[in-house]
A and B are shown apart, each in its own frame.
Chain A
């Protein structure tokens, strides 16, 4: 979060323009798009995959996919960064679906420590970004256990059973927290501020 960044709306407009250029196979525009988004998307991939080499491979595949499908973005109704982030998240989750790709126990423990260090990070940055102010407000209104289980699942790509293991709670309980938390978030986000 550096101060010389364009405001969220200006950034979104710029990214949409670069995607349109990439659809026309403008490689310079695509390089600019990469420069503006790669660190965000690499962060997303690394938090979910927890392995540098996997995250690099997935990021490469995702940018090739974005290059090949930039034209399809025109018919999407999403913000550019939302569209690109979803491509990365989905590719990461596909990657983890392969049974042989499960992180080993040791890496898992290291990763857990890392989360504990940065666990206030995402929430703080969220509050700093006006774009996400509503989401931050609504996240804060959740019960702590709902908020934590949603963050572990969404932010770190944990499955229900991994969240349950991490929070030392029964699977059914965790599923309920996630489901109720999401319902409350939706209601809160659709209410006027």
Chain B
């Protein structure tokens, strides 16, 4: 079995969103999809020359789509009814669709809600050879309005890793690598000091 290699890591916060230049579609997305897409963009991966049908996407969403849910439901009494565009983002996995469309990635997908545990599932996909490479994204979006409802602190950030079977990269994925956020924070800290 080939080793699994981390080839790129990134971390973005809400502050990066207004500066993003990712087209008109980006402006219509919910915050979680924007952050996830930005985190993937920040990896700097050139997908040309890679088999797009063998690249998976594994997403972890700490609070699912609850921020978008609350925004959608807030518009329930609007003239003409709630927004159909917003409704499409009331799924925790909406960001997978946006990433897949932007980069034309047709490999297997998974989205887990809750704790940052998706790394183990991404490495399982790679070990089983269901994919050759995998975008691993962790998204934590709790808007102030939602924070009160679910009694959690507000947050808005995303982290991303690109994993592949074999080859060269930042380093090999270890058995004790548990969560994306810790790994990305460590890589980003390393970059800022080097």
Indicate whether A and B interact: no
